[in-house]
Amino acid sequence: MEKSYYESPIGILEIICENNKLVSLKLVDCCEKSNIETAFIKDIKNQINEYFSGKRKVFDIKINPTGTDFQKLVWKEL
């Protein structure tokens, strides 16, 4: 798993990826020392930056959220 951070206008976002898929994106209070910058994570940060600057409404990031089978079904519908 790769973990990185993005300082957004709403706070620090923690980005966790595995096998070039986004596993988790959440607000956190602070950054850890580990901050990996893969090409996939750079693309995620670029898309988030475009969103906050008003240039992006739709994301095309591959995701693989963790959760129960029911939660995964709900996320798929969303």
Q: Which domain holds residue 10?
A: 2-77
Helix (H, G, I), strand (E, B) or coil at 50: helix
In this structure, what CATH number is given to the domain that contains residue 43? 3.30.160.70
**How many domains is the chain partitioned into structurally?**
1
* pTM for the model: 0.82
Encode pLDDT of 12-63 as tens digits: 999 999 999 999 999 999 888 777 899 999 999 999 999 999 999 999 999 8
